[in-house]
Amino acid sequence: MKPRISVITLGVDDLERAVGFYRDGLGWPTEGIVGTELEEGGVAFFDLQPGLKLALYPRVNLAQDAGVALERPGPASGASASAAEGALSHNVASREEVDAVMAQACAAGARLTKAARMVFWGGYAGYFQDPDGHLWEVAWNPKWPLPDD
């Protein structure tokens, strides 16, 4: 198997709210929710970079589609969002950009879990959770130059 990821799918409790967070709050382009006419419900896609998309899919539909139990309700239903099941990392070009992205995410409704600061590996990073409790790291790593966009 070639190590390749083309879509990262996040299960969400409220698809419209989640789309609003990423589209309106973070400014990520999307065609919006598609497939609402299908029995399985709608989904929204965001282009992250060439060959990689983020999909937002209702958590209950994702569990059903994957054939697994819906075990962990999201924070919108009152559950704790403290579990660290994994994190998505968004790398940026400077410390200042880390601070700007963190501020934008919090203004859009994210919950700050760790303010940005210098970290043990020589970079600068912080964490937030989106409205569904998904953990995001925003980081600047001076040893990882970013590709030109």
The answer as to whether 81 is a domain residue is no
The answer as to whether 148 is a domain residue is no
Q: Are 50 and 99 contained in the same domain?
A: no
Average pLDDT, the chain: 88
Q: How many domains does the chain have?
A: 2
Higher pLDDT, 101 or 66: 101
pLDDT of residue 67: 80
| Phi, psi for residue 25 in degrees, rounded to 5 | -75, -45
Determine the structural domain holding residue 25 and report its residue range.
7-69
58-100 pLDDT, tens digit each = 999 888 887 888 876 555 544 444 556 678 999 999 999 999 9
Q: Are 62 and 94 contained in the same domain?
A: no
Percent of the chain exceeding pLDDT 90 equals 64
- Distances in whole angstroms, Cα of residue 109 to Cα of each of 20, 46, 58, 73: 10, 18, 19, 19
Q: Are 60 and 94 contained in the same domain?
A: no
The answer as to whether 149 is a domain residue is no
Alpha helices in 7-118 (DSSP H): 15-20, 59-66, 95-107
Strands (DSSP E) along 16-92, which ranges? 30-34, 43-49, 52-58, 88-92
